[in-house]
């Protein structure tokens, strides 16, 4: 069946839980006439059943410094919908949100589409003392990078309103240390900025035997940020899509203590009203402590297994990748050695031989490799989609069926081996 179809290793979905979640919901969820499933219920803020279940779940899983209450929760159709609503609530048109690079590709449309705000990349490579991608998680380097980005935005006439991060990080697959979250909070406080944390992979943390000292996940809600900033300016996005393998149910949740932000988001949530029957499906799982515990364990075990399969393949073929990972469903892979040389057509007139190609030429080279792989019927994600500072990196997702993963990496190996042996000559 996989012979003629493309294998998608470019989408950050978790297919490993589909069977368990589908079977559970098939036997445990029902539609009834007496609990708002067929009516408007109490409005778009969230099903009372799901809100209650989320209060218990968030208090248990994220271990917040101050207990979560139902008044601090809003349910929306997915995490990107949460980020969109937050941007609309926080920013006026043309104002900016800082985010460290590389960043999740969905951040840009979430910020720019409705709110017409600007996503402002926070660069690390030009900082004095920069070494490698580990610096993206270093507290001092974050403080420097954020200050530089804020200075540039101010110089360009852009008012900055917030800092946005993904924790665990997408696409790097690593959790932020508490010290770094606190450093970001101090920066936000000193400039009166909001802090938005996308924590959609909070439970998708696994054991990586090659990185035994990996940072465990800690939510911003559990990082004692109240010592560093006003927690009315801290907002967390979570959802059912990744940790529960159910992106198709379109369930996201916003946690905020800011009554003004909650009121603003509520004012537009009627346009993204998740049906109560769908919300109560998630509530059903959250209320079942035994099934939830089994699902979490299954997720960790399956992610570790598939990660190890992909990691072993990369090491066997001497393909560099970002190693300090233990979260998410992907690996950040360095394929720069396989990029084609810039063609004459890609170089501007007057370019000197041996000079580095311009940014647009590099992106064309990356796109050519992407298309070459697609010709082998395997699809991975371009690093340029994540605003990488070094083009030639790609994100490869591994949370697919085992047979699909094996087929995908075999096709990847075949293509890369051909390029290494014969270059970019016609196959």
pLDDT tens-digit readout, 89-118: 999 999 999 999 999 999 999 999 999 999
In angstroms, the CA 413 to CA 46 distance is 47
pTM of the model: 0.93
For residue range 181-204, list pLDDT tens digits in order.
999 999 999 999 999 999 999 999
For 99, counting Cβ atoms within 10 Å of its Cβ (0-12 exposed, 13-18 middle, 19+ buried), the class is: buried
Check residue 270 and give its pLDDT. Answer: 86
Rounded Cα–Cα distance for residues 253 and 283 (Å): 12
147-to-17, 152, 181, 187, 196 alpha-carbon distances in Å: 41, 9, 15, 8, 17
H or E segment and range at residue 118? strand 118-122
Residue range 246-295, pLDDT digits in tens: 999 999 999 999 999 999 999 998 888 999 999 999 999 999 999 999 99
120 DSSP β-pair partners: 98
Q: Is the pLDDT score of 152 beyond 50?
A: yes
The mean per-residue pLDDT over the stretch 292-311 comes to 97
What's the confidence (pLDDT) of residue 361?
A: 59
Please tell me the distance from the alpha carbon of residue 52 to that of residue 172, in angstroms, as a whole number: 33
29-38, 164-173, 261-270: range with lowest mean pLDDT: 29-38
What domains sit in the chain, N to C, each tagged with a CATH number? 7-18+292-422 (3.90.1150.10), 30-288 (3.40.640.10)
- The rounded distance, in Å, linking the Cα atoms of 20 and 311 is 26
Mean pLDDT across the chain: 92
Q: What is the pLDDT of residues 375-400, one digit of tens each?
A: 999 999 999 999 999 999 999 999 99
Share of the chain above pLDDT 70, in %: 93
Using CA atoms, how far apart are residues 196 and 156, in angstroms rounded to an integer? Answer: 23
* pLDDT at position 345: 47
Is residue 4 very low, low, confident or very high in pLDDT (cuts 50, 70, 90)? low
Give the integer Cα–Cα distance in Å for 208 and 324.
9
The DSSP-derived string for 306-342 is HHHHHHHHHHHTT--B-----BSSEEEEE-GGGSPPP
Q: What pLDDT score does 185 carry?
A: 98
Note the pLDDT of residue 354.
38
Q: Confidence class of residue 33 from pLDDT cuts 50, 70 and 90? A: confident
* Dist CA 76 CA 85 (whole Å): 9
Model confidence at 348: pLDDT above 60: no
- Is residue 272 a contact partner of residue 88, using CB atoms and an 8 Å limit? no
Please calculate the CA angle 40-261-91 and round it to the nearest 5 degrees.
Answer: 120
What are the tens digits of pLDDT across the range 324-345?
999 999 999 999 999 998 764 4
Whole-number CA gyration radius for the chain? 22
Indicate if the pLDDT at residue 350 is higher than 50.
Answer: no
230 has pLDDT over 80 = yes
Quote the tokens at residue 350: 């007057």
pLDDT of residue 427: 52
Distance in angstroms (rounded) separating the CA atoms of residues 379 and 382: 9
pLDDT at 415: 95
As a whole number, mean pLDDT of residues 21-26 equals 95
Characterise 156 by phi-psi region: left (phi > 0), alpha (psi -120 to 50), beta (else). alpha
Q: What is the mean pLDDT of residues 37-55?
A: 89
* pLDDT for the residue numbered 362: 62
Is residue 175 pLDDT above 50, yes or no?
yes
User: Which residue is it, tokens 């208090």?
Assistant: 59
* Per-residue pLDDT at 141: 97
**Range 352-381 average pLDDT:** 77
- The share of the chain scoring above pLDDT 90, in percent, equals 84
C-alpha distances in angstroms, 345 versus 34, 183, 254, 368? Answer: 67, 46, 48, 14
């Amino acid at each position: 069946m996989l012979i003629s179809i493309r294998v998608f290793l470019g989408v950050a979905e978790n297919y490993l839980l589909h069977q368990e979640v589908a079977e559970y919901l098939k036997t445990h969820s029902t539609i009834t006439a007496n609990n708002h499933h067929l009516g408007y219920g109490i409005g778009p803020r969230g099903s009372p059943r799901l809100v209650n279940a989320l209060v218990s779940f968030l208090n248990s899983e994220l271990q917040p410094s101050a207990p979560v209450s139902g008044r601090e929760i809003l349910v929306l159709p997915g995490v990107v919908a949460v980020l969109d609503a937050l941007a609309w609530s926080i920013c006026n048109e043309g104002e900016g949100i800082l985010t460290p690079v590389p960043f999740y590709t969905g951040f840009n449309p979430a910020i720019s589409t409705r709110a017409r705000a600007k996503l402002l990349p926070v660069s690390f490579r030009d900082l004095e003392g920069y070494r490698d991608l580990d610096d993206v998680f270093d507290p001092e380097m974050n403080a420097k990078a954020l200050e530089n980005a804020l200075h540039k935005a101010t110089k360009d006439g852009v008012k900055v309103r917030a800092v946005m991060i993904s924790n665990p990080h997408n696409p790097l697959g690593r959790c932020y240390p508490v010290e770094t979250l606190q450093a970001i909070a101090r920066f936000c406080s000193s400039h009166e900025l909001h802090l938005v944390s996308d924590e959609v992979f909070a439970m998708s943390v696994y054991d990586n035997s090659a990185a035994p000292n990996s940072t465990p996940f800690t939510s911003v809600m559990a990082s004692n940020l109240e010592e560093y900033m006003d927690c009315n300016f801290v907002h967390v996005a979570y959802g059912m899509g990744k940790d529960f393998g159910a992106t198709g149910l379109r369930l996201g949740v916003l946690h905020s203590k800011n009554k003004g932000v909650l009121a603003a988001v509520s004012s537009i949530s009627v346009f993204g009203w998740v049906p109560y029957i769908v919300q109560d499906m998630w509530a059903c799982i959250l209320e079942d402590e035994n099934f939830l515990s089994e699902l979490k364990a299954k997720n960790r075990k399956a992610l570790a297994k598939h990660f190890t399969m992909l990691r072993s393949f990369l090491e066997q073929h001497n393909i560099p990748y970002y190693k300090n990972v233990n979260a998410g469903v992907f690996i950040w892979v360095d394929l720069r050695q396989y990029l084609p040389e810039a063609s004459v057509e890609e170089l501007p007139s007057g370019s000197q031989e041996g000079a580095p190609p311009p940014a647009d030429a590099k992106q064309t080279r990356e796109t050519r490799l992407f298309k070459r792989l697609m010709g082998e019927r395997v699809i991975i994600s371009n690093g340029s989609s994540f605003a990488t500072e070094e083009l030639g990196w790609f994100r490869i997702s591994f949370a697919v069926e085992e047979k699909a993963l094996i087929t995908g990496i075999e096709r990847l190996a075949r293509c890369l081996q051909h390029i290494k042996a014969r270059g970019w000559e016609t196959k």
